[in-house]
Homo-oligomer: A and B are copies of this chain.
Amino acid sequence: MSKIKTVAVVGGTHGNEFSGIYLLRKWQQSAALARDSFSVETVFANPKAHNDNKRYVDHDLNRQFSLADLANNELASYEQSRAKAINQQIGPKGDAKVDFIIDLHNTTSNMGPSLILLQSDRFNRQLGAYVKMHMPNAVIVLEDHTSVEQHHFLSSIAPQGVIVEIGPQPQSVIRQDVLDWMDEMTKHILDFVHLYNTDELLPLIPSYEAFRYHETLSLPLDEQGQRIGMVHRSVQDNDFEPLHSGDPIFTLFDGSEVFWKGDYEAFPHFINEAAYYDNNLAMSLAKKVQISTLD
Contact = CB atoms under 8 A, between A and B. Distances in A.
Interface residues of A, number: 30
A264 interface: no
Contact of A177 (B22, B168, B177, B233): B233
A25 to B, nearest CB: 7
B272 A175 contact: yes
Given A29-B254, A253-B22, A171 B174 contact: no
> Which 9 pairs of residues, A with B, have the shortest CB-CB distance?
A176-B233, A170-B170, A108-B170, A172-B274, A174-B230, A26-B253, A170-B274, A173-B274, A177-B233
Interface string A210-250: 00000000000000000100111100100000000000000
Interface of A: 22, 25-26, 29, 53, 108, 168, 170-177, 179-180, 227, 230-233, 236, 251, 253-254, 272, 274, 277-278
Total copies of this chain within the assembly: 2
Contacts of A173: 108, 272, 274, 277
24 contacts: A22-B230, A25-B253, A26-B253, A29-B254, A53-B277, A53-B278, A108-B170, A168-B170, A170-B171, A171-B172, A171-B274, A172-B277, A173-B272, A173-B274, A173-B277, A174-B230, A174-B231, A174-B272, A175-B272, A176-B231, A176-B233, A176-B236, A177-B233, A177-B236
A251 B170 contact: no
Contacts of A274: 170-173
A236 B171 contact: no
Contacts of A232: 176
Contacts of A236: 175-177
Contacts of A233: 175-177, 180
A230 B25 contact: no
A47 to B, nearest CB: 14
